[in-house]
Structure 1
Amino acid sequence: MPEATEPKELSEDEKHLARLGYSQELNRTWSSFSNFAISFSIISILAGCFTTFYQGWNNGGPIAISWGWPIISLFILIIGFTMSELVSAYPTSGGIYWWAAKMGGPAAGFFTGWLNLIGLLAVTASVAYGAATFVDLTLTTVSSGWADGYSLTRIYVIFLIILVIAAGLNVFGGHLMAIVNNISVWWHVAGAAIVILVLVFIPDTHQALSWVFTHEVNNSGFNDNQTSGLKFWFLVLPLGLLLTQYTITGFDASAHLSEETSAASEAAAKGIWRSIAYSAIGGYVLLLAFLFAVQDPEGVSAGGGSVDVIFGQALPEGWHFLVLLISTAGQLFCTAACMTSCSRMTFAFSRDGAIPGSKIWSKVNPKTKVPTNAVLLCAVVGAVITAPALVSVNGLPVAFLAVVSVAVIGLYLAFAVPIFLRWRLGDDFEPGSWHNGRKYKWMNLIAVAEIAVISVYFILPFTPTGVPGNADFAWSSVNYAPILTFGTLIVLAIWWQVSAKKWFTGPKHTIDETVLEAFDS
């Protein structure tokens, strides 16, 4: 047997990977900080807190944000702890798909993998599109001529340019993306700090502490826009909590990059929970700064709850431009990181034969050690599924919003499967160096319950006009998430029964069986 296959010649990371059935194909050049950085960049408080602020404002107002953000963040942190334990035991690029297949068999792996991949593709596209809208918005603040030329076609062209740049950075090399993500962390930290300081010192007046923590807004159309009664507290307000759930997602990236991270069993585990914790703290301070800076609450509601309205009220043009520029750059970093995570999941899922054309998408560039074809596939699919954004309904890219609405549900449902399977496995689970001890018994149940509850709210109509049977019902207001989610599950179920279960057997080994037996002995 060649010396290169002898266990003694391998690092501890390579030995661990070999025990899981894989040889080292990707460059293991990512540090613990870089692993944390990619999840922190994908969560991106400079993206979600800006682009989804309206969700919290319109559905509850300040209380949905000042109280909702820390409460939901705590639940998401528990989800993160359960996933940290899993990645420590199974540090592979397949991430949650691989964990599900290991603990629940091929069917669990197949459904989890596709939900995860579809979610990552949609999230990558939606983040890139959000970045494109902010590039356009930033230019609009300094050019009236640019503002006059607004169109969805222009947004889509900017979106395509962003996708090309993100793909180019990823194709060039994994080490480059590690550096980019490291820079991204400091941009997010410094950028958020600058935005907070600007909103503290530049506005002439600020809202009172009591207003930030007690004021209620109902701009949803439900409950006659009243802020009292059970419908407000159990329908409207929970819809506002989706701001937090949408923003703090994508942290499974630390798992997808574990095969490129040194000391992955510890580093990837810490990368997941730390990215959640630090984003929760930073995002909370940032959102509070937004709320304190509100000058005219009625004006914000009239503007659809857009955070840009707050900036327009509180800041002179130059400061307004600076804040948008900081957020836009953060969203560009986020897009590149999303592309990295998506491509690694595509590579890993293809390596195990789950995606049509797997041999193409699982190829690794021998020079850069990057799954180049997987990167390009993610970019092309992102461009295709975003094409409906060219169609306008009342000035909005409704068809595209319908496509990406399934993204977060898909990701969190995929998270729930291995978390539940680990709980079911109980003490038979073999933990890695980072684990939750006996706390898994309640942590995993809470995590699954939170995902189940929040998923219900993700599929509810967001406005009365989206409720079938309503006198003012309009298809443009429908929340297509339940249709797309259940439709996806039905298609996957048919595919599994008709074909996939005959050829998909779960994770495949890429090393010789005798070598695997040597590591297992």
Structure 2
Amino acid sequence: MSDRDISKTPDVYHDFNHDPVTSLLVEAPASDHSMDADELALVALGYKQEFKREFSLWTTFSLSFAVLGLLPSFASTMSLGMGYAGTAGMVWGWIIAMLFIQCVAAAMAELCSSMPTSGGLYYAAAVLAPPGYGPFAAWLTGWSNWIGQISAAPSVDYALAAMILAAASINNPSYVPTRYQTFLLTTLILIVHTAISSMPTRWIAKFNSYGSVFNILALFITIIAIPTGTLNVPKFNPSSQVWGDIYNGTEFSDGVAVLMSFVGVIWTMSGYDSAFHLSEECSNANVASPRAIVMTAGIGGVVGWFLQLVVAYTVQDIPGIMSSNLGQPWASYLLQVMPQNTAMAILALTIICGFSMGQGCMVAASRVSYAYARDDCFPLSRIWKQVNPYTTTPVNAVIANGVLGILMCLLIFGGSTAIAALFSIGAIAQYVAFAIPIAVRVFFVGNRFRRGPWHLGRFSRPIGGMGVMFVLLMLPILCLPTTVGSDLTAEGMNWTCLVYGAPMFAVTLWWVIDARKWFEGPKVNIEHEIYNTTFDGVPSSETVVYT
């Protein structure tokens, strides 16, 4: 405990019975240079500045929006939204899911404003958890987030490779891509993304800024081009059909089928946390980073719904799209409603956007890996947490993620069901990681939470609570197969429980057997006290000093 006289600084330190939970330092450490507001905020959280702050609000939003990748995300998950519940599921499902996803994003932004570190949700879970549970909360949050993050780039790059090969099949109908060719092309894309993500922060920021601008332009071009270039007669389906007819591609009730279609929305809308992980490289981070989170989720939600509407009003034969020999529903849909040349142009735009999206996913994942390696969570963490002196970026972490991504893509040889597991992980792992610190903040910390300059005011707890309830509802829904009973086969099985549950069970068992003995949560690199006062003479939590 510090011997500082708390009463001398009434603007910061008050009676803890009425004061929010804080992760601020009692005293700033000595420094050989003057620190700006961003560095002071990071020091208050227990870390020293190691990255250059060359991301702005715009470039942070650009990378988050690139990771979101509405156009390639929709193209990659079209079989989930349209295939499970048809057009009614697309338009209604997107609206319902997005209302709750906005709650999750807003609650996350509030955490980011209070604790703008690259560890993000993992750090927040450690700080906010009840006494004695901080390390375990951080352990579960960190591993779930990391699993979701490292699977993002491989899943996006696999979908990108599938679209490229589908384009080749359209131009040459006799060409049928093999699994080996799909794997090699996916591997090549992952290697390119690894190289770009190892560049200096300034270059990455510019690359993703250009990519985000292209993503936005391509999205609007697509939304305009489809209804104007469609060959349908009449051009649009009647509203009663679009909003009322459910093409149920499952053996469950229509209501459950609509809920199952949320997996496409959730997977698409899981990139907004990238701004949290880039906060140590962003200027004015405790304002710009949460704004970038909310902007990404809000703009992505509205524009994404317009894309859903355009497709829902023009699609003609959903079963034909789902069973097309191209193996890529987006390409099949474009050929169904547009002339081939126009369809190929839109497909080309989607491919370029997909490349930008995969690049953003690789950058975000590398920052998460770096943050967790910095706290010695992984074997050989001393290697993965190194910052390259020339690029000032975590090159080793980028390379490790690239290698893991290539290994994950070996699932391609197991068939479509096996590789689809990557998308399942992206949906369920990320939102579990999102929900844990939000739930702790809402149900355990309550009004003792020390807000940052961006916050939700009196709506903070209700909004966060609705977000957590939504995630709890979707956990079993995301694990349902499309068929049941005697119709259920290994090919039609939903392997999410195994692909996500097995590694999470393993890390939980690791915690019980060994990790709880040495893992103490975020190991900050300057002296730091997470809690520093008492409740009526009783410590409010164990005083944890990290050095």
Residue of structure 2 equivalent to 1:162: 189
The CA deviation at 1:197 is 1.8
Measure the CA separation in 1 of the matches of 2:508 and 2:231.
58
Measure the CA separation in 1 of the matches of 2:376 and 2:224.
50
Among residues 430, 433, 447, which one is paired with 2:467 in the alignment?
447
SS at match of 1:355: coil
SS at match of 1:59: helix
C-alpha contact 1:72 1:244 (8 A) present in aligned 2: yes
Q: Which AA in structure 2 matches 1:51?
A: S
Q: Deviations over 1:151-183 (max 9, x none)?
A: 011111110111011111111222111112111
Structure 1: 5+ residue stretches without partners: 224-230
Residue of structure 1 equivalent to 2:53: 28
Among residues 305, 310, 318, which one is paired with 1:289 in the alignment?
310
1:419 and 2:438 are equivalent in the alignment? yes
Among residues 353, 368, 388, which one is paired with 1:345 in the alignment?
368
Q: Which has the higher helix share?
A: 1
Residue of structure 1 equivalent to 2:13: none
Q: Which AA in structure 2 matches 1:419?
A: I
Measure the CA separation in 1 of the matches of 2:158 and 2:322.
24
Give the RMSD, CA atoms, in angstroms. 2.1
Q: How does 1:303-342 map to 2 (within 5 A)?
A: 303=324, 306-342=329-365
Q: Deviations over 1:341-388 (max 9, x none)?
A: 100000000101111111100000111110000000110001112112
Q: Deviations over 1:20-77 (max 9, x none)?
A: 1111111110011111112111111112211111212222211111111122111101
The CA deviation at 1:405 is 2.2
Q: Which AA in structure 2 matches 1:179?
A: K
1:509 and 2:524 are equivalent in the alignment? yes
Residue of structure 2 equivalent to 1:255: 276
The CA deviation at 1:5 is 4.9
Residue of structure 2 equivalent to 1:190: 217
Residue of structure 1 equivalent to 2:159: 130
The CA deviation at 1:252 is 1.0
Residue of structure 1 equivalent to 2:18: none
Structure 2: 5+ residue stretches without partners: 1-28, 533-544
Q: TM-score, normalised by structure 2?
A: 0.87
Measure the CA separation in 1 of the matches of 2:304 and 2:397.
32
C-alpha contact 1:202 1:315 (8 A) present in aligned 2: yes
Q: Which AA in structure 2 matches 1:291?
A: A
The CA deviation at 1:93 is 0.4
Moved over 6 A (4+): none
- C-alpha change, 1:343 and 1:214, in structure 2 (3 Å) is same
Measure the CA separation in 1 of the matches of 2:449 and 2:146.
25
Measure the CA separation in 2 of the matches of 1:130 and 1:11.
43
Q: Which AA in structure 2 matches 1:47?
A: P
Q: How does 1:111-150 map to 2 (within 5 A)?
A: 111-144=140-173, 148-150=175-177
Q: Which AA in structure 1 matches 2:309?
A: L
Residue of structure 1 equivalent to 2:411: 388
- More displaced, 289-298 or 14-23? 289-298
C-alpha contact 2:246 2:254 (8 A) present in aligned 1: no
Among residues 238, 243, 254, which one is paired with 1:232 in the alignment?
254
- C-alpha change, 1:75 and 1:278, in structure 2 (3 Å) is same
SS at match of 1:172: coil
Q: How does 1:43-122 map to 2 (within 5 A)?
A: 43-104=68-129, 105-122=134-151
Residue of structure 2 equivalent to 1:407: 426
The CA deviation at 1:121 is 0.9
C-alpha contact 1:55 1:305 (8 A) present in aligned 2: no
The CA deviation at 1:300 is 3.4
Measure the CA separation in 2 of the matches of 1:111 and 1:17.
23
Residue of structure 2 equivalent to 1:299: 320
- More displaced, 399-408 or 182-191? 399-408
The CA deviation at 1:449 is 0.3
Residue of structure 2 equivalent to 1:227: none
Q: Deviations over 1:115-162 (max 9, x none)?
A: 1001111122111111111111122222335xx241011111110111
The CA deviation at 1:301 is 5.2
- C-alpha change, 1:331 and 1:434, in structure 2 (3 Å) is same
Measure the CA separation in 2 of the matches of 1:409 and 1:213.
27
The CA deviation at 1:391 is 3.0
Measure the CA separation in 2 of the matches of 1:125 and 1:408.
14
1:493 and 2:508 are equivalent in the alignment? yes
Residue of structure 2 equivalent to 1:226: none
1:433 and 2:433 are equivalent in the alignment? no
Measure the CA separation in 2 of the matches of 1:354 and 1:365.
20
Q: Which AA in structure 2 matches 1:427?
A: N
Measure the CA separation in 2 of the matches of 1:210 and 1:111.
45
Q: Which AA in structure 1 matches 2:181?
A: R
Residue of structure 1 equivalent to 2:202: 175
SS at match of 2:270: coil
- C-alpha change, 1:388 and 1:474, in structure 2 (3 Å) is same
The CA deviation at 1:438 is 1.5
1:373 and 2:393 are equivalent in the alignment? no
SS at match of 1:272: helix
Measure the CA separation in 2 of the matches of 1:436 and 1:460.
34
Q: Which AA in structure 2 matches 1:438?
A: R
Measure the CA separation in 1 of the matches of 2:69 and 2:429.
19
Measure the CA separation in 2 of the matches of 1:513 and 1:406.
34
Q: Which AA in structure 2 matches 1:416?
A: A
The CA deviation at 1:416 is 0.7
SS at match of 1:218: coil
Measure the CA separation in 2 of the matches of 1:143 and 1:26.
48
C-alpha contact 1:115 1:413 (8 A) present in aligned 2: yes
The CA deviation at 1:482 is 1.4
Residue of structure 1 equivalent to 2:539: none
- C-alpha change, 1:305 and 1:216, in structure 2 (3 Å) is farther
Q: Deviations over 1:306-331 (max 9, x none)?
A: 23222111111110111111111111
- C-alpha change, 1:513 and 1:109, in structure 2 (3 Å) is closer
Q: Which AA in structure 2 matches 1:171?
A: S
The CA deviation at 1:474 is 1.5
